Amino acid sequence: MPDSISLPKGTVVPDHVAMILDGNRRWARARGLEPWQGHYYGFKAVEKLADASRKLGVHTFTVWAFSTENWDRPQIEIDAIMNIFRRALKEKEKEFHRGRVALVHLGRKDRLPPDIRRELTRIESETAKYIGHNVFNLAVDYGGRDEIVRATQKIIDSGLKIIDDKTFESFLDTANQPYPNPDLFIRTSGEQRTSGLLPWQMVYSEFYFETEHLPDFTPEKLMEAILDYSRRRRRFGGNDTVEHFHFDPKVTAKLEIQWWRLRNIPEGIDFKDYAMKHIKEQFGLSTILALQAAGFLMEAVIEEKKSKFDKAAVTMKKFYELVRDELKLAFEPKIVAFLEVELDRELGGKESVEGTFEAEETAKRFYAEVYRISLFQAAKAAHLRVLAAVERNMAEAAHSTGSGSSRFAEEHWDKAEVYLQKFYSALKERVA
């Protein structure tokens, strides 16, 4: 894993990440390769991901490498996959001991080739002492229903008459693990289903679906998935313990639209003071801190107007450091500052939604990072924000060039305000 990969301070790292390794064959076919070659490159990707997960602070990493249904595939492909397992066990045994990683097999052993079954059992036994340090769960010949059926049969064979959740869990393949239940479930290749992976254990897992095939799922993408997980609020059926934002969408939108329309600032009010009122409403800062933040914001706006985006990002970093420290949020100011300046640059002068795809993607990342919500949850707000910015640009263009009429410009300002209100409402639905 490159040294440059690191998580921002305050990131909530999942204890257990589980992955379905999907897309190897599609990745191979797209490149004119044989399916087994895709599995090999998928194996190389998993090597990097397993190493990255430990360095990022994940305790348990689970990969589903072969399902109970995969026996129906062509024999030549099955043989190739089994050879990869043989190679992996041979090459990784020393690494398990060096990294103090417990290898745990999830699934059936009785149908595996004898030599693989023998080596898997031996390495499991010899690395079991590391279970408190790190766990690598390898799901081979695994099926979720099959696991539950096997657990039930074990309970029947044990003679137990009364069982509870804890008792049942002790008969599952993840028994005796410190973190048996995945916090984050990732599936590659654009598929959006669990296919039965750990059905008992994943009741409260957060899902993350990645469009890239497994061979292209890099440690950097794993980091993005963990950051997305970190932004989510996990309630487990109970109350939300996260401190909420209390802004009024209508008031905040009105302040921002007047900010945009500099000429509408009430007479006698200094621009910095006006910016302070907006920041105070949006973030709930005290008057003193809001005034200080407004100073940073004003400097950044001036630099952006001069197209000095690097300098603007430096100043915005100071702004977000103040906001983060006061609100005790977990975002990284440098990242947020870059995203906001990049968003402003991408939206600059855009008078149509066409060509705003990149801006909308940046907006999703920006609002997800600031307000600690997932990219999926940020999508609606990001889209509305882009629509508001386009209307603002059209109003400013009409006003500066004199094209059309003042009524034409006012129509765009009105639309911009409507979109801003919807934006803040959509945002508050996620953070309130």
Q: How many CA atoms within 13 Å lie on the side-chain side of 71?
A: 10
CA-based nearest residue to 336, from 16, 8, 40: 8
CA-based nearest residue to 276, from 319, 339, 332, 244: 319
Do 250 and 421 touch, CB atoms closer than 8 A?
yes
Sheet holding 16-20, edge to edge: 102-106, 135-142, 60-67, 16-20, 184-187, 206-209
Integer-rounded Cα Rg, in Å, for the chain is 27
Report the distance separating Cα 179 and Cα 26, nearest Å: 32
Give the tokens for residue 137: 């769960």
Active site residues: 22, 70
| Cβ density class 89-106: b for 16+ within 10 Å, e for less | beebbeebeebebbbbbb
